[in-house]
Amino acid sequence: MQLEGKPVIQAIMRDVSVRRATEAAKEAAREAALQMARAKSEFVANVSQNPHPDARHLGMSGLLLKTPLDGRQRDTCPPEKLG
């Protein structure tokens, strides 16, 4: 390319720092979402192994009520088993 008979070099520059910062934020958000998904999966897996933890607690309370209890012990027993 020439301008007024002299060779000219044309260069185009773009500031990509905003794009790179956006991409980095997007990747950080993706990693956070993946970590949350793994934590949720682990939580659900742990809960699934013991679907009714309250049933076990209530069953033990029923056994406890078949024995003589003092006032403090009776206070710690769930009210639904006392009735």
Q: What is the pLDDT of residue 66?
A: 77
Hey, CA dihedral for 57, 60, 62, 65, is it positive or negative? Answer: negative
- Mean pLDDT of residues grouped by 10 in the chain (83 residues)? 86 93 97 95 76 60 73 70 50
Q: What is the pLDDT of residue 18?
A: 95
Contacts of 81 (CB under 8 A, 6+ apart): 58, 61, 62, 65
Angle of CA points 15, 21, 25, to nearest 5°: 160
Task: Give start and end residues of each alpha helix (H) in 1-83.
Answer: 17-49, 53-65, 71-76, 79-82
Give 38-58 pLDDT, tens digit per residue.
999 888 887 766 656 565 555
Q: What is the pLDDT of residue 54?
A: 60
